[in-house]
């Protein structure tokens, strides 16, 4: 079946603008994760959703970052007032349930100028 998809694949934005990144998980997967990959920090966890439970937001770097998951499926990661240090590849993953194998999407490359 279809894998995890993300859009857009690339996003260039000006410092101070808001951006929204979208993730479509594998159908039927109850858990959805956001990670960020940057040259200096490697791959780091941001937030994850599990069914109807409150999301684990422990990895969000600041209150400019937020995410929601509507209807237990699609998720949107929003970054407000973007800064140059937000430039990175944002990766989404999903798994059948918490603790199961995670499958990653191709990522969104965000460049803040």
Question: Which residues contribute to the site for other proteins (CB under 8 A)?
Answer: 31, 33, 35, 42-45, 48, 50, 56, 58-59, 91, 93, 98-107
- Choice between 33 and 65, CB closer to other proteins: 33
CA–CA separation, 46 and 90 (whole Å): 9
- Choice between 20 and 56, CB closer to other proteins: 56
Q: Are 13 and 19 in contact, with CB atoms under 8 Å apart?
A: yes
Question: Please, what is the minimum distance in Å from the beta carbon of residue 41 to other proteins?
Answer: 10
CA–CA separation, 104 and 26 (whole Å): 10
């Amino acid at each position: 079946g279809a894998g995890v998809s993300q859009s857009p694949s690339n996003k260039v934005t000006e410092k101070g603008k808001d951006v929204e990144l979208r993730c479509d998980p594998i159908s039927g997967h109850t858990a959805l994760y956001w990670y960020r990959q940057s040259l200096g920090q490697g791959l780091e966890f941001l937030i994850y959703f599990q069914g109807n439970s409150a999301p684990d937001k422990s990895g969000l770097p600041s209150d400019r970052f937020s995410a929601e998951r509507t209807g237990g499926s699609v998720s949107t990661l929003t970054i407000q007032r973007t800064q140059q240090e937000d430039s990175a590849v944002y990766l989404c993953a999903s798994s059948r349930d918490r603790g199961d194998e995670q499958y990653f999407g191709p990522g969104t490359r965000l460049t803040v100028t």
